[in-house]
Amino acid sequence: MSLQITFWILATVAVSGALLAVRLRNLIHGVFSLMIFFGALAGMFLLLMAEFIAAVQILVYIGAVGILLLFAIMLTERVAEDGGRRISSRGSFWGMAAAIAVFVALLLPAIRQTDLPKTAQTVQPSVEKLGQQLMDPYVVTLEVMALLLTAALIGAVAVSQGGKPKNEDEPK
């Protein structure tokens, strides 16, 4: 019974957090509601007995991706001034129609018509098994992931540093 209540509370918080993140005009408020969404999702992972993933979700998304988004917003936008009427979204009616169409015509029938398993086995969360699985069958994926993250790190630094410095005393 309390599981049901927790699920509905977390679901409501997640959906409203996502909606607010997408619709708010003040971007900083949007990022914070996005973080509430991430937190609610971490709670859902805990409810589904995936503890390690819940911790990683908080660590990576709220602790790192959220802060990155905040810094990017501060570097690219003058958020504090609200002078003038800026259109923050165009065609939101058709966008909403498309999203609802995808939901109603594509996803909902897919869920309703599949034969879904009904009961859940008991799961003992254990990080040691996760580590063993990472090392034994999935070691190649782990190494590729490490390579990808290194490439992303180097790429992000290279892209954000800009090109060659301009030479100002060039004769025109």
In sequence order, which residues have a C-beta less than 8 Å from that of residue 3 and are 6 or more positions away? 47
User: 9, 82, 95, 139: which one contacts another protein (CB under 8 A)?
Assistant: 95
Minimum CB distance to another protein, residue 83 (Å):
14
CB closer to another protein, 166 vs 171: 166
Minimum CB distance to another protein, residue 171 (Å):
25
Question: Could you give the CA distance from residue 44 to residue 47 in angstroms, rounded to a whole number?
Answer: 5
**CB 54: neighbour CB atoms within 10 A?**
20
CB closer to another protein, 121 vs 167: 121
Minimum CB distance to another protein, residue 32 (Å):
8
In sequence order, which residues have a C-beta less than 8 Å from that of residue 159 and are 6 or more positions away? none
Place of tokens 């008991």: 122
> Tell me, what DSSP letter sits at residue 170?
-
CA neighbor of 73 nearest in space, from 21, 17, 26: 26
CB closer to another protein, 57 vs 171: 57
- H/E segment holding residue 19: helix 2-23
Question: Could you give the CA distance from residue 46 to residue 38 in angstroms, rounded to a whole number?
Answer: 12
Residues 139-158 that bind another protein (CB under 8 A): 141, 145, 148-149, 151-153, 155-157
The 17-56 site mask, x for binding another protein (CB under 8 A), equals -xx-xx----xx-xxx-xx-xx--x--xx-xxxxxxx-xx
Residues 50-89 that bind another protein (CB under 8 A): 50-53, 55-77, 80, 87-89
CB closer to another protein, 87 vs 171: 87
User: 84, 85, 128, 170: which one contacts another protein (CB under 8 A)?
Assistant: 128
User: 9, 82, 105, 107: which one contacts another protein (CB under 8 A)?
Assistant: 107
- H/E segment holding residue 77: none
